[in-house]
Structure 1
């Protein structure tokens, strides 16, 4: 990993947290209200959405440079979304174990090679959700196939990497983790951070 540039250093005073109360709680999230003091010294009431699982994303790329995409209806925006396989895993679990499970459950696939390529904060103004993303290659059918739950209805497609990236850049793919993972993989392919064979298959 490269050295952090000097301009990425912190400045000023951090937020100060006072009394807090839980206003909503379910098995996946909790919403809390905090009496807080801003870095400027101003008193503030802060609402925080806390996630009980770690967000996980898998970018599965086959030997032809195609990305395995998952299509599904999403509740919050009431629209249809094409994404890479994603899900959540317990925070005490090895993220790669959860990623393996999501790839099998959503795409019916196993991967011979795994590489962590991304850690991001998904919406750090109102949530504490963290995400870890993995590149998965050497794909084969998972034993037992897909294991979706009773609320999931998936479609699957294998899409050339550049076609998926172009769709994201055109705004047709809007899922943040998918866009971030495609861009990260593109950067790695261009900068010689992936094997020559994989980079050539991805970039065409």
Structure 2
């Protein structure tokens, strides 16, 4: 019988390949589940990935557009950023929402937790639904050249369905919110 708590991978050696303030890359020499030797690379993220789906009283949301360096392309997504591990993630979500959109929310609901690329990394994301919104001044970081677009939630959902939004946290949050709407829970 399969035991889901049993790790079939054996590590025989490990070597750090790269380290910076955000990530660490380690190469492992392993014995794989079939009993054969191999290697496995792991990207360890030093922060949580935090995402916020703002939703106003008229069922509009706010998307952030920016050029994403790793993809070498423009991306529309929900407000996102890093959260320090050990700090309440909702506090990081509040900071990111204000930084990127200038919005503050009176109600916060955790939508989901998911691993973003479990084949090569341990990055954990937490997304929130932010309601009861008030507009203030945005405070983007120097690395961010952002365009904020207020759209009806239905349009954001169609952007996901049409492949115009491909960021995994954004896709997950928008689909989860749509499911909650269809179930009458939102």
Q: TM-score, normalised by structure 1?
A: 0.86
Is 1:122 matched with 2:119? no
In 2, are the aligned partners of 1:12 and 1:39 still within 8 Å (CA)? no
Q: Measured at CA, do residues 13 and 130 of structure 1 come closer, stay the same or move farther in structure 2, by a change above 3 Å?
A: closer
> Could you list the per-position Cα deviations for residues 84-133 of structure 1 after superposition, in whole angstroms to 9, with x for gaps in the alignment?
00000111111101000000000111000000011000000001100000
> Could you list the per-position Cα deviations for residues 50-97 of structure 1 after superposition, in whole angstroms to 9, with x for gaps in the alignment?
100000000000111011111111101211111100000111111101
Distance in 1 (alpha carbons) for counterparts of 2:5 and 2:105? 43
In 2, are the aligned partners of 1:70 and 1:156 still within 8 Å (CA)? yes
**Corresponding residue SS for 1:167:** helix
Query: Structure 2: which 5+ runs fail to align?
Result: none
Alpha carbon RMSD of aligned pairs, Å? 1.4
Q: Measured at CA, do residues 181 and 36 of structure 1 come closer, stay the same or move farther in structure 2, by a change above 3 Å?
A: same
Deviation at 1:14, TM superposition (A): 2.6
Query: Which residue in 1 is equivalent to 2:143?
Result: 151
**Corresponding residue SS for 2:87:** coil
Distance in 2 (alpha carbons) for counterparts of 1:186 and 1:160? 12
1:176-191 matches, within 5 Å, as 176-191=168-183
Deviation at 1:16, TM superposition (A): 2.2
Distance in 2 (alpha carbons) for counterparts of 1:84 and 1:39? 38
Is 1:68 matched with 2:62? yes
2:40 corresponds, among 43, 46, 51, to 46
- Normalized per residue, the structure richer in strand is 2
1:1-204 matches, within 5 Å, as 10=4, 13-142=7-136, 145-194=137-186
**Corresponding residue SS for 2:170:** helix
**Corresponding residue SS for 1:113:** strand
Deviation at 1:19, TM superposition (A): 2.0
Deviation at 1:12, TM superposition (A): 6.8
